[in-house]
Amino acid sequence: MTFSGASTTIVRTLIWEWREERVMEHIWAPWRVGYVRVEKPAGCILCDKPREKDDAGNYILYRGQKNFIIMNAYPYNPGHLMVCPYRHVPSPEELDTEELLEHFSIVNRALEALRETFEPAGFNLGMNVGKVAGAGIDDHVHTHIVPRWQGDTNFMPVVSGTKVISEALADTYRQLKDNF
């Protein structure tokens, strides 16, 4: 049995959509096990971290008036950033126009800094709104920015020791910070 041209196209489209959906799961990021296993602290880290006066220790790369950029401590890839409003709201439609405009201009600033620092070939960019959609912190909206390279994980040592990972994070922080 053979597929007609049209059916083949539909099948190809379905396969492509499936791949898009799965693409994040294919990144080999064993250090994320620490995140999955860790007991989640009470309160909201996206509220607490910017209130502390330790931006380098908290991997906060940039502060705007309404939003800030923090590195994901359990990255899918090196340079995995999150743009977050200071305000604790679960979904982007609760942000006002000023917050939204700044949010996305800061997303662009992050893309520029990442391009300049690490020359990624592409990005995954997006929000998970609601736990069912995969949000780890589901009550404080944030935009993920994950730089992508051909072959990806060649860029970070594939190890599971948290010390090595925190050193890699600190190193990524220093390199990126210079380009903000």
Rounded CA-CA distance 13/31 in Å is: 33
Indicate whether 33 belongs to the interface with Zn ion (CB under 5 A). no
Let me know if 169 is exposed, middle or buried by CB neighbors in 10 A (0-12, 13-18, 19+): buried
Of 47 and 127, the one with the shorter C-beta distance to Zn ion is 47
Residue 142 appears among annotated catalytic residues = yes
Indicate whether 94 belongs to the interface with Zn ion (CB under 5 A). no
Smallest separation (angstroms) from Zn ion to the CB of 126: 19
Smallest separation (angstroms) from Zn ion to the CB of 88: 3
Indicate whether 52 belongs to the interface with Zn ion (CB under 5 A). no
Of 20 and 94, the one with the shorter C-beta distance to Zn ion is 94
Indicate whether 46 belongs to the interface with Zn ion (CB under 5 A). yes
Q: How many CA atoms lie within 13 A of 92 on its CB side?
A: 15
Of 94 and 171, the one with the shorter C-beta distance to Zn ion is 94
Instruction: Provide the token pair at 102.
Output: 């700044």
Q: Are 142 and 127 in contact (CB under 8 A)?
A: yes
Sketch the per residue contact string, 105 through 144, with Zn ion: x for CB under 5 A, - otherwise. Answer: -----------------------------------x----
Rounded CA-CA distance 79/134 in Å is: 20
Rounded CA-CA distance 159/13 in Å is: 36
Cα-Cα-Cα-Cα dihedral sign, residues 41, 140, 25, 160: negative
- Annotated catalytic residue, options 80, 103, 140, 142: 142
The residue ranges that bind Zn ion (CB under 5 A) are: 44, 46-47, 88, 140
